[in-house]
Amino acid sequence: MNDVLDVALRLIAVFAVFLVLPLVVGQAEHKVMAHMQGRLGPMHAGGFHGWAQLVADGVKFAQKEDVVPADADRRIFQLAPAVALLPYLLVLVAIPIGPGRGAVGQTVDAGVFFVLAVLGVGVLGSLMAGWASANKFSLLGGLRTAAQLLAYELPMLLAVASVAMAAGTVSIPGILHAFEWWWLPWQIVGALVFFVAGLAELQRPPFDMPVADSEIIFGAYTEYTGLRFALFLLAEYVGIVVLCALTTVLFLGGWHGPYGADGLGWVWTLLKVAVLAFVVIWLRVSYPRLREDQLQRLAWTVLIPLALAQIALTGIVKVAIN
Amino acid sequence: MSVAATAASATAAAGPGFLSPSGVEIAFLLVGLVTFGAALVTVTTRQLVHAALWLVVTLGGLAVEYLLLTAEFIAWVQVLIYVGSVVVLLLFGLMLTKAPIGRSPDADSGNRPVASAVAVAAAAALVWVVVDAFRTTWIDLGGPAQGSTEVSGRFLFRNWVLPFEALSVLLLAALVGAIVLSRKNGAARADGNAAGGSGKEQR
Residues belonging to chain B with any Cβ–Cβ distance to chain A shorter than 8 Å:
49-50, 53, 56, 72-73, 76-77, 79-80, 83-85, 87-89, 91-92, 94-96, 98-99, 101-102, 145, 148-149, 195, 198, 201-203
Kindly state the average pLDDT of the residues B102-107.
69
- Chain-wide mean pLDDT for chain A? 84
What's the pLDDT score for residue A166? 86
Pick from B72, B91, B203: CB nearest A110:
B72
Higher pLDDT, A322 or B170: B170
**Nearest-CA neighbor of A196 among A186, A212, A207?**
A207
Q: Could you read off the pLDDT of A267-290 as tens digits, one per residue?
A: 888 888 899 999 998 988 888 888
Dihedral pair phi/psi, residue A54, rounded to 5°: -70, -30
Percent of chain A with pLDDT over 70: 96
Kindly state the average pLDDT of the residues A107-115.
80
CA distance A202 to chain B (A): 14
Q: Could you read off the pLDDT of A234-248 as tens digits, one per residue?
A: 888 888 999 998 898
Q: Could you read off the pLDDT of B112-161 as tens digits, one per residue?
A: 889 889 989 999 999 999 888 887 777 776 666 677 777 888 888 888 88
Q: How far is residue A281 from each of residues A206, A207, B60, measured CA to CA in Å?
A: 10, 13, 34
CA distance B135 to chain A (A): 28
Residue A203 backbone class (left: φ over 0; alpha: ψ -120 to 50; beta: rest): left
pLDDT at B10 over 60: no
Q: Could you read off the pLDDT of A158-192 as tens digits, one per residue?
A: 999 898 888 888 888 888 888 888 888 888 898 99
What's the pLDDT score for residue B186? 54
pLDDT at B166 over 80: yes
Higher pLDDT, B97 or B165: B165
The DSSP call for residue B37 is H
Pick from B96, B102, B145: CB nearest A143:
B96
**Nearest-CA neighbor of A130 among A220, A213, A217?**
A220
**Nearest-CA neighbor of A75 among A118, A119, A120, A131?**
A131
Q: What contacts 24+ positions apart, CB below 8 Å, involve B119-123?
A: B119/B43
Kindly state the average pLDDT of the residues A23-39.
87
The complex scores an ipTM of: 0.80
Kindly state the average pLDDT of the residues A302-309.
91
Distant-in-sequence, close-in-space partners of A198: CB < 8 Å, separation ≥ 6: A156, A243, A246, A247
pLDDT at A260 over 70: no
Q: Is A160 on the interface with B (CB under 8 A)?
A: no
Kindly state the average pLDDT of the residues B3-26.
57
Which of A68, A79, A113 has the highest number of chain B CBs within 10 A, making it the mutation to test binding with B? A113
- Chain B residues touching A130 at Cβ < 8 A: 95
Q: Which residue of chain A comes nearest to B101, CA vs CA?
A: A73
pLDDT at B203 over 80: no
What's the pLDDT score for residue A173? 83
Percent of chain B with pLDDT over 70: 74
- Chain A residues touching B96 at Cβ < 8 A: 143
Range B2-7+20-159 has CATH code 1.20.120.1200: yes
Helices A2-36 & A226-251 angle (0-180, nearest 10):
100
Q: Is A132 on the interface with B (CB under 8 A)?
A: yes
CA distance A207 to chain B (A): 18
Domain boundaries, chain B: 2-7+20-159, 160-203
Kindly state the average pLDDT of the residues A220-235.
85
Q: Distance between CA atoms of B138 and A319, rounded to whole angstroms?
A: 39
**Nearest-CA neighbor of B77 among A246, A118, A84?**
A118
Where does the pLDDT of residue B174 fall: very low under 50, low under 70, confident under 90, or very high at 90 and above?
Answer: very high
What's the pLDDT score for residue B17? 60
CA distance A103 to chain B (A): 22
Radius of gyration of chain A (CA): 20
pLDDT at B35 over 80: yes
Kindly state the average pLDDT of the residues B33-41.
91
Q: How far is residue B172 from each of residues A303, B151, B162, B178, measured CA to CA in Å?
A: 20, 26, 15, 10
Where does the pLDDT of residue A262 fall: very low under 50, low under 70, confident under 90, or very high at 90 and above?
Answer: low
Number of A–B residue contacts, CB under 8 Å: 103
Q: Could you read off the pLDDT of A113-156 as tens digits, one per residue?
A: 888 888 888 888 888 888 888 888 888 888 888 888 888 888 98
Where does the pLDDT of residue B172 fall: very low under 50, low under 70, confident under 90, or very high at 90 and above?
Answer: very high
Pick from A73, A116, A124: CB nearest B101:
A73
- CA torsion angle A62 A64 A65 A68 (round to 10): -80
Q: Could you read off the pLDDT of A44-83 as tens digits, one per residue?
A: 877 788 788 888 888 888 888 888 888 878 888 888 888 8
What's the pLDDT score for residue A41? 78
Q: Could you read off the pLDDT of B180-197 as tens digits, one per residue?
A: 888 866 555 544 444 444
Kindly state the average pLDDT of the residues A238-264.
82
Kindly state the average pLDDT of the residues B92-97.
82
What's the pLDDT score for residue A78? 85
Residue positions counted in chain B: 203
